[in-house]
C-alpha cells in the first residue's frame, strides 16, 4: 500500500488505467467536437445516451425487475433531470469553444461537489479545503479571463454544465449508498434518454449514417472511460491517480490543435494546472483525514 503522495510500483496499474480513462474522455470530446453544430445539442446527446444504454442493459434489466423504493425512484428522476440539462449545455459548448477550454472548465466539477457537500449535506469544510477551493476558482478565472476577453455563449454553457454536473454527482453520491454503482450508472443513462427524448423530437434533424457512427464512438469512449476510471480507483489511491487527470488537458489541447486547427492557449493550460493542483490537494487532504478516522494515532481518545 502506498502512502498519500508517495508513488510505488504497485500504483503503476492505477496510473495506467487513469491514463487510459483520460484518453477515452478526450475521445468523447473529440467525437462531439467533430460533429460540431451539424445536429442540435439535445438530439446529439439523446443518440449518444441511447447507444450508451445498449452497453448497460445487462446491469439495467435485473435492477428494473427487482424495482426500487419510491424515494430511490425520486432520486433517480432528480439525477436524470439534472443530467439532461447538463449534457445539453455540454454538447452546445463542445460545438462552440475549443476542446481545451471545455476540458479545463470541466475541472470545476469536483469543486462544485465539494461545495455542494458542504452546503447541502452538512459536511464540514476546513480552512485548508476552503483555500484550495479558492485557488481552484482562481484557476478557472485564469482560463476564462472575464473582462480581458469576451465570454462566448459556449463558455457560459460549459460553466452551467459543470455546475449542474456537480449537482448530479452529489445525487449520485447519495444513490451509491443505497444501490450498486453499476445500477446508478445504468439508471442515469435510462432516465437521461427518457428526459432527452421529447426535447430531441422537437428539434430532430435526420442524422446521416456517419453521424450515427460518430455518436456510437462517443458512447463507446464514455463507457470505456468510466470503466477505466473505476479500475484506476480500485488499483491505486486517488492521491496518486488524481494528478494524472491534468494530462487530459494536454491531450485535449493537442487534439484541438492538430485535428481542429484550434490555437493553443497558454492561459488555459496554466489555469487548468492550478485547478488540478488544488483538486489534488483536496483529494490528498480528504484521504489523510479518512485514514486518521479509520486508524487513530497512538494515544488518541475516542472523542478526539
Instruction: Tell whether the model's pLDDT for residue 224 goes beyond 50.
Output: yes
Cell 449537482 sits at which residue? 167
Instruction: Tell whether the model's pLDDT for residue 10 goes beyond 60.
Output: yes
Structural domain includes residue 302: no
Residue 192 confidence (pLDDT): 93
Residue 215 confidence (pLDDT): 94
Structural domain includes residue 80: yes
Structural domain includes residue 277: yes
Residue 202 confidence (pLDDT): 95
Task: Please give the mean pLDDT across all residues of the chain.
Answer: 83
Structural domain includes residue 2: no
* Percent of the chain clearing pLDDT 70 (strictly above): 88
Structural domain includes residue 66: yes
Structural domain includes residue 283: yes
Q: What is the grid cell recorded at 188?
A: 442515469
Residue 287, CA atoms < 13 Å, CB-side half-sphere: 19
Instruction: Give the separation between CA 31 and CA 24, rounded to whole angstroms.
Output: 11
* Percent of the chain clearing pLDDT 90 (strictly above): 34
**pLDDT one-digit tens code per residue, 191-221:** 999 999 999 999 999 999 999 999 999 999 9
What's the domain range around 55? 9-292
Q: Which residues are 149's β-sheet partners?
A: 146
Residue 205 confidence (pLDDT): 93
The total domain count for the chain is 1
Instruction: Tell whether the model's pLDDT for residue 302 goes beyond 50.
Output: no
Higher confidence at residue 296 or residue 131? 131
Structural domain includes residue 172: yes
pTM, two decimal places: 0.80
**pLDDT one-digit tens code per residue, 276-297:** 888 888 777 766 666 554 333 3
Long-range pairs of 203-208 with CB within 8 A, sequence gap ≥ 24: 203/40, 203/42, 203/43, 204/40, 204/43, 205/39, 205/40, 205/43, 207/39, 207/43, 207/47
Instruction: Give the separation between CA 81 and CA 98, rounded to whole angstroms.
Output: 27
pLDDT-derived band at 58, boundaries 50, 70, 90? confident
Q: Of 13, 18, 21, nearest to 225 (Cα)?
A: 21
Residue 87 confidence (pLDDT): 93
pLDDT-derived band at 112, boundaries 50, 70, 90? confident
Structural domain includes residue 197: yes
Amino acid at each position: 500500500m502506498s502512502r498519500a503522495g508517495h508513488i510505488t510500483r504497485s500504483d503503476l496499474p492505477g496510473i495506467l488505467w487513469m491514463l487510459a480513462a483520460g484518453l477515452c474522455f478526450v475521445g468523447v470530446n473529440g467525437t462531439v467536437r467533430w460533429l460540431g453544430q451539424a445536429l442540435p445539442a439535445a438530439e446529439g446527446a439523446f443518440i449518444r445516451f441511447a447507444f450508451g444504454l445498449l452497453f448497460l442493459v445487462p446491469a439495467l434489466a435485473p435492477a428494473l425487475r427487482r424495482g426500487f423504493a419510491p424515494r430511490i425512484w425520486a432520486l433517480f428522476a432528480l439525477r436524470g433531470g439534472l443530467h439532461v440539462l447538463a449534457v445539453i449545455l455540454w454538447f452546445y459548448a463542445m460545438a462552440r469553444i475549443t476542446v481545451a477550454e471545455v476540458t479545463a472548465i470541466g475541472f470545476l466539477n469536483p469543486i462544485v461537489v465539494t461545495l455542494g457537500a458542504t452546503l447541502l449535506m452538512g459536511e464540514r469544510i476546513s480552512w485548508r479545503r476552503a483555500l484550495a477551493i479558492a485557488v481552484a476558482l482562481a484557476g478557472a478565472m485564469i482560463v476564462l479571463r472575464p473582462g480581458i476577453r469576451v465570454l462566448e455563449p459556449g463558455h457560459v454553457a460549459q460553466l452551467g454544465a459543470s455546475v449542474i454536473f456537480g449537482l448530479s454527482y452529489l445525487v449520485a453520491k447519495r444513490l451509491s449508498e443505497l444501490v450498486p454503482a453499476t445500477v446508478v450508472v445504468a439508471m442515469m443513462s435510462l432516465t437521461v434518454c427518457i428526459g432527452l427524448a421529447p426535447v430531441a423530437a422537437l428539434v430532430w434533424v435526420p442524422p446521416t449514417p456517419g453521424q450515427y457512427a460518430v455518436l456510437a464512438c462517443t458512447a463507446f469512449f464514455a463507457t470505456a472511460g468510466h470503466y477505466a476510471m473505476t479500475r484506476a480507483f480500485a488499483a491505486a489511491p486517488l492521491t496518486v491517480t488524481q494528478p494524472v487527470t491534468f494530462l487530459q488537458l494536454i491531450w485535449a489541447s493537442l487534439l484541438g490543435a492538430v485535428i481542429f486547427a484550434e490555437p493553443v492557449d497558454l492561459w488555459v493550460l496554466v489555469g487548468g494546472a492550478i485547478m488540478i493542483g488544488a483538486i489534488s490537494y483536496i483529494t490528498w487532504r480528504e484521504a489523510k483525514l479518512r485514514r486518521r478516522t479509520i486508524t487513530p494515532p497512538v494515544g488518541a481518545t475516542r472523542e478526539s
